[in-house]
Structure 1
Amino acid sequence: MAQQLRQEYLLIPPVTRTYLTACAITTLAVELQLVTPFQLYFNPYLIFEKYQVWRVFTSFLFFGGLGFNLLFNMIFTYRYCRMLEENSFAGRTADFVFMLCFGGFFTVICAMFVNLLFLGHALTTMLVYVWSRRNPFVRMNFFGLLPFSAPYLPWVLVGFSLLLGNSVVVDLIGIAVGHVYFFLEDVFPNQPGGMRLLKTPRILKVLFDPPEEQTVELSPEDRPGGFEWGGDR
């Protein structure tokens, strides 16, 4: 059983696996009272005045204590983060990391104006939005009751938050950030006069993407027997 779980865990693509593991470790640390949510939440004053820079990152790793909210966010993060990494960004890990950095950066900017404490839910909503726009013909249903196509999924989640009495500000920020990314990456470059404004930094390419295989062209005198081996005869 343990071996099977380990194999399933290792089958999760690396970026999704790393993020989910960090979220799980953070939640476990809070439950064991090794840290408290007060040490993790997003606070611009403490970040810029007290230099508690870790809060920029930990605010994305804590979805709350054990309960429905944690389960809901972890499932959605696992599902849509994994599908994006395995499909839209297959073989482009650096581009996927850049998308997450883009989403995280603009979520932090928004959080400075609307007083958000934890930002992971907004990032999850962004992932859901980007996936839904890139898979417009996928048919879905909500708890087997409400059928709809994928582009409506983020708005269904907004409605679900309203039903639960939760604030929809976090969902709307995730949708807004996701739409900006989708527009700049998928829409604007394909418009007349458009161009690609988002470019993955080279440092991310070096860190996350394997080096491209280079084909060495041999001169005729270097080829065995001097022949064009494998060429048309």
Structure 2
Amino acid sequence: MPSNIAQMGDENPIKAWYNGLPPITRIWWTLAFLFANLVYFGTLDVTYLIWDQHAVFSKFQIWRFFTSFCFVGTWGQQGFGTLISLYLLQQYGKSLENNCPNTGGGGTVADYLVLILFCMLAHIIITVFVASRFVMGTSLMFTTLYIWCKMNFEVEVKLWGFPMKAAVFPFALMGLHLATGADVWSDIYGLAVGHLYYFLQEIYPTMYGKDIIHTPNFVITLCHRLKIGGGYVNPSAPAAASRGVPPPGRVRPPTGGGYDWGGGGRSLGST
């Protein structure tokens, strides 16, 4: 038996699964799992993780910009919900990061990093100006789930064994949360931010021929230097093109077909 096959067979399946997570999803999932355990065992006070507007802007506790998105719950009475959130985070975070829309980085981790940062900023704006929230981890998780479902609307997924199209999966999940008394507002905010990203990245360029969301070159350069996700310094340069990296953005001429409210079929207003 070849040595590499033997090594694959001997590898711990949990280690193989963890190493198979793309970089951003791996960091996010690790922090969520770590915080769940630290809070449960009393090692870390959850008040140091949650969003606190006064602490952020008056005491400059800037880590809350990130930790409030990395806490999805703890164990005990919340344990089942936390377990489901961790599963959905790794499942759809991984799928979206591995097939991220190209906004300038060729669909690499650089584009996914911009996606996550954009959605985090949108959630913070909602928290500051619309509805005050302390933790936004499950909302951001739902955002990534919604974006993946919009991009893969015809893919069949299952919810507790019931098959359905990805297009309806977020709404079915919201219905389940509503029926079980879970925080459905977290899903609603996640859906709103996800659709905002999808509109600006997919619909707006189709309607007006202009891209709104761009991955800055310094983000692509950073990913390239850190050797994560296949980032390239300049995806539009000939050297990058020779690697098969698409040009930045997806600027397309207006189609004049109205707004496409779903995943397929005719556009609203078409004949």
Structure 2 residue 67 is the aligned partner of structure 1 residue 58: yes
Selected match of 1:154 from 134, 148, 170: 170
Asked if the contact 2:25/2:94 (under 8 Å) is kept, the reply is: yes
Structure-1 residue corresponding to 2:97: 85
Describe the superposition over 1:124-151 as per-residue Cα deviations: whole angstroms up to 9, x where unpaired.
1111110111011112332124x43111
**Structure richer in helix, relative to its length:** 1
Aligned length: 213
3-state SS of 1:140 partner: strand
Q: Report the residue type matching 1:86 in the other structure.
A: N
Residue segments in structure 1 that go unaligned for 5+ positions in a row: 216-233
Structure-1 residue corresponding to 2:239: 214
Structure 2 residue 84 is the aligned partner of structure 1 residue 72: yes
Describe the shift of the 1:196–1:61 C-alpha distance in structure 2 as closer, same or farther (beyond 3 A). same
Structure-2 residue corresponding to 1:226: none
Asked if the contact 2:24/2:113 (under 8 Å) is kept, the reply is: yes
* Superposed displacement of residue 34, structure 1: 2.1
Residue segments in structure 2 that go unaligned for 5+ positions in a row: 1-9, 224-230, 241-271
* Superposed displacement of residue 91, structure 1: 5.1
* Superposed displacement of residue 98, structure 1: 0.2
How far apart, CA to CA, are the structure 2 residues paired with 1:186 and 1:162? 29
Describe the superposition over 1:46-104 as per-residue Cα deviations: whole angstroms up to 9, x where unpaired.
21122222112111111111111110111001000101112235851100100000111
Selected match of 2:35 from 9, 26, 29: 26
Highest Rg: 1 or 2? 1
Describe the shift of the 1:167–1:32 C-alpha distance in structure 2 as closer, same or farther (beyond 3 A). closer
CA RMSD in angstroms, aligned pairs only: 2.0
How far apart, CA to CA, are the structure 2 residues paired with 1:200 and 1:161? 34
Q: Report the residue type matching 1:71 in the other structure.
A: L
Structure-2 residue corresponding to 1:109: 125
Asked if the contact 1:122/1:173 (under 8 Å) is kept, the reply is: yes
Asked if the contact 2:98/2:108 (under 8 Å) is kept, the reply is: no
Asked if the contact 2:174/2:184 (under 8 Å) is kept, the reply is: yes
Structure-1 residue corresponding to 2:218: 203
Q: Which moved more, 1:43-52 or 1:124-133?
A: 43-52
Asked if the contact 1:128/1:153 (under 8 Å) is kept, the reply is: no
Asked if the contact 2:100/2:107 (under 8 Å) is kept, the reply is: no
Q: Percent identity?
A: 28
3-state SS of 2:69 partner: coil
